[in-house]
Amino acid sequence: MLVVAIVALLALLPVAPVGATTDAPNTCSGATAAKPLNTWIADAVEPSGDVDWFRFTTASNRYALVTLGKLAANYTLELYSSCGTKLATSARSGVQYEEIYRYLPAGAYRVRVSGVSGAHSATNYQVRFRSLAEGVLMLSYRTWTDSGNLYVVGEILNNTAQTRKWVKALVTFYDASSQQLGSTYFTYSHIDLMKPRTRSPAGPRYAPIPVGYHHYRVTAAPGTVTDNIPVGNLKVTPGTPYDTSWNRHYPGTLTNNNGFALTDAEVVVTLYNSSGGVVNADFDYPTTPIAAGATVDFDIMVWDHYAGVNRYVFQAEGE
């Protein structure tokens, strides 16, 4: 199996303010140097017409992830290799976080933040430039506790050139001396086969909190390289989310646009906060087999932990 359809939607929610900062320069030549990398920088698009420029330098040829989050208005994120050369733009609607993921040779880069059609706010946004090592990475994760258990949900990025299977999220507990306590707990990525440069949620996975626990680590295990060929041509059509008791439902339909029937299928939803971090994830198995050209319903139920959702993304896989 492999992800073959992705659909993203906006969840409109208020944005919490962050601390005030000195306004970034309005020109590319004066762009603020952002050091160190992988650190959130706060600023505001204020007044109307304000433009903010930032400069990042990476020492290695790597993929990078630039994120613009905690938006109080509709903003655009642009990436430049020089003041006159634009490489990429992220311009989602409303207050969805913006992000750009692409390969960048070592060098200096500039990021431009601006309001759409004069959009502005005195509430700060946050921008971050992450230079990503080659490998299978835990992009973000969220935890909570319940009845003596630690629950973990994460988002894994296959930042390699190979398709991988059996990718895992790992949870390991340590004492105050950083000695491991008990076994490492794991759960597999929801997307069984992860194509190069793609993502999958993993979890939630619960792990009993051991006696003497001081801290924990959440990491990703790279799984195994595979030559399996993915099934394509699956279309996800989202419905309208609704709540029941402690759950939020994400319904929709899945259409098999292949010339053959599917004997198995899965639809996954990943929920994100206003900074692009994972909030929760879950899945549903539509009724199979799904004949060629047929459409079936699904209804993904996310248990309890779904507050603060800014955006959600559907993925589908089948065989």
Q: What is the CATH number of the domain that holds 289?
A: 2.60.40.10
pLDDT of residue 115: 98
Higher pLDDT, 101 or 33: 101
Claim to verify: residue 125 and residue 139 sit in the same structural domain: no
Beta carbons within 10 angstroms of residue 24's beta carbon? 24
pLDDT of residue 145: 95
Claim to verify: residue 128 and residue 179 sit in the same structural domain: no
Residue 21 resides in a domain? no
Higher pLDDT, 19 or 49: 49
Domain final residue pick, 132, 163, 196: 132
pLDDT of 108 above 90: yes
- Number of folded domains that form the chain: 3
Residue 2: band (very low, low, confident or very high) from pLDDT cuts 50, 70, 90: very low
pLDDT of residue 13: 41
Domain final residue pick, 132, 151, 171: 132
Half-sphere exposure of 199 (CA within 13 A, CB side): 23
Residue 1 resides in a domain? no
Residue 163 resides in a domain? yes
Q: Distance (Å, rounded) from C-alpha 7 to C-alpha 238?
A: 8
CATH of the domain at 101: 2.60.120.380
Q: Distance (Å, rounded) from C-alpha 264 to C-alpha 308?
A: 32
Q: Is the pTM of this model over 0.85?
A: yes
pLDDT of 15 above 70: no
Q: What is the mean pLDDT of residues 198-206?
A: 96
Residue 69 resides in a domain? yes
Asked if residue 274 lies in contact with residue 92, where contact means CB atoms within 8 angstroms, the answer is: no
3-state secondary structure (DSSP) of residue 22: coil
Residue 188 resides in a domain? yes
Strands (E), 245-294: 247-256, 265-272, 278-284
User: Which of 288, 251, 300, 313 has its CA nearest to residue 1?
Assistant: 288
Q: What is the mean pLDDT of residues 193-207?
A: 96
Residue 16 resides in a domain? no
Residue 57 resides in a domain? yes
Residue 110 resides in a domain? yes
Residue 17: band (very low, low, confident or very high) from pLDDT cuts 50, 70, 90: very low
Q: Tens of pLDDT along 43-57? A: 999 999 999 999 999
Full domain range(s) for residue 83: 32-132
pLDDT of residue 3: 37
Claim to verify: residue 250 and residue 301 sit in the same structural domain: yes
Claim to verify: residue 94 and residue 125 sit in the same structural domain: yes
pLDDT of residue 5: 57
